[in-house]
Each structure stands twice: as structure tokens, then as C-alpha cells.
């Protein structure tokens, strides 16, 4: 009789621990999925990257032209 009570208590404790860990795993999984969704909103598209690179290249071209004019002015003197 005592053995049945002890065995039932141990199985009940093991069941409770497993249920608790299962619930925690579900919670962490949900949080991970939400985090992935939030991070994905911040990704840059290829179009945006190409537009930014083109803006930088255009500015570099203008700077190059200004340097060329400056160098031509110094050589002309």
C-alpha cells in the first residue's frame, strides 16, 4: 500500500515536470518564431541595395569629376 502511494507520487511529480517543460518549450518556440518575423521585417531587398549602391557610385563619380577639374586647374597654371 505504501509502495503504491510512493510510486503514484513519483509518477505524478515526473508527469508534472514533463508537462511544465513541454509548456516552456512551446512558449520559447512561439517567442523564437515572433523574433524571426520581426527580424525579417528589417531585411533589405535587392532593389534597395542596388539603389543605395547606385547613389554612392553617382556621388563618387561627381567627386571624381570635381577632383579632375581641380587637378586640371592646377596644371593649367
Q: How confident is the model at residue 31 (pLDDT cuts 50, 70, 90)?
A: very high
Q: How far apart are the C-alpha atoms of 67 and 70, rounded to whole Å?
A: 5
Q: What is the pLDDT of residue 32?
A: 93
State the DSSP code for 1. -
- The mean per-residue pLDDT over the stretch 55-61 comes to 97
How many residues appear in the chain? Answer: 77
Label residue 57 exposed, middle or buried (CB < 10 Å: 0-12, 13-18, 19+): exposed
Looking at every residue in the chain, the average pLDDT score rounds to 91
pLDDT at 14 over 70: yes
Report yes or no on whether pTM surpasses 0.75.
Answer: no
Q: How confident is the model at residue 21 (pLDDT cuts 50, 70, 90)?
A: very high
State the DSSP code for 73. H
Amino acid at each position: 500500500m505504501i509502495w503504491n502511494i510512493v510510486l503514484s507520487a513519483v509518477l505524478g511529480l515526473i508527469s508534472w515536470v514533463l508537462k511544465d517543460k513541454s509548456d516552456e518549450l512551446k512558449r520559447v518556440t512561439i517567442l523564437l518564431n515572433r523574433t524571426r518575423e520581426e527580424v525579417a521585417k528589417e531585411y533589405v531587398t535587392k532593389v534597395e541595395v542596388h539603389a543605395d549602391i547606385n547613389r554612392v557610385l553617382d556621388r563618387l563619380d561627381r567627386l571624381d569629376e570635381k577632383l579632375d577639374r581641380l587637378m586640371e586647374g592646377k596644371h593649367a597654371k
